C-alpha cells in the first residue's frame, strides 16, 4: 500500500487532493493502487519535525513525502539529506511547487492527481530520483 505523507505545511492542500482522488474518475485507480494519504499527526510525527527526521522517517516506513517548501538552507535540510544519504532505492520526495493552485485551478488539480497516480503506478521508476515534481 503506497502511503503519501502530507507535509505539515500543506495539510489542507493534501486533504483537497485526497478528496478529489476519491471521486470519479480517479477513485477506481486510487483504490486499485491502494494509495492512501496520511498526516504527521496520523503517523505520530511532530509538525515541527526537522527535515532530516521527516526524510529518515519516510524512508524507514516506506512513505512518500508530499511537500512544497523543504529546502537546502541547513545541514539537516531535506535537500542536503537527500544528497548525503539518498541511494538508488530511496523513495523520492514528491514536491508540489505551486500548492495553492490546487484550490484555484481544477485543471491543475487534475494534473497533480494524474502525476501522483502515475508515480504510484510506476513507483520503481522513481526510486533514487531524490525529488520528483507534480504536476
CA torsion sign for 93, 132, 71, 36 is negative
pTM of the model: 0.93
Q: Judge contact between 98 and 119, C-beta under 8 A.
A: no
* Mean model confidence pLDDT for the chain: 94
The tens digit of pLDDT for each residue in 14-70 reads 999 999 999 999 999 999 999 999 999 999 999 999 999 999 999 999 999 999 975
Q: What is the pLDDT of residues 54-83, one digit of tens each?
A: 999 999 999 999 999 755 567 778 888 999
Q: Which domains, and CATH codes, for the chain?
A: 3-133 (3.40.50)
What residues have CB less than 8 Å from 5, skipping those under 6 apart? 37, 38, 39, 40, 43, 45, 54, 58, 63, 64, 65, 66
Q: State the pLDDT confidence band at 119, using cuts at 50, 70 and 90.
A: very high
pLDDT of residue 70: 56
Average pLDDT over residues 110-120: 97
Amino acid at each position: 500500500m503506497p502511503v503519501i505523507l502530507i507535509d505539515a505545511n500543506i495539510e489542507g492542500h493534501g486533504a483537497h487532493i485526497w478528496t478529489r482522488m476519491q471521486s470519479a474518475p480517479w477513485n477506481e485507480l486510487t483504490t486499485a493502487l491502494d494509495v492512501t494519504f496520511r498526516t504527521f499527526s496520523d503517523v505520530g510525527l511532530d509538525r515541527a519535525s526537522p527535515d532530516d527526521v521527516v526524510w529518515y522517517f519516510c524512508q524507514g516506513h516506506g512513505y512518500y513525502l508530499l511537500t512544497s517548501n523543504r529546502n537546502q538552507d541547513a545541514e539537516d535540510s531535506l535537500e542536503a539529506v537527500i544528497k548525503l544519504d539518498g541511494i538508488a532505492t530511496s523513495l523520492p520526495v514528491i514536491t508540489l511547487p505551486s500548492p495553492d493552485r490546487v484550490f484555484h485551478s481544477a485543471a491543475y488539480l487534475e494534473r497533480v492527481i494524474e502525476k501522483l497516480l502515475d508515480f504510484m503506478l510506476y513507483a520503481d521508476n522513481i526510486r533514487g530520483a531524490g525529488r520528483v515534481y507534480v504536476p
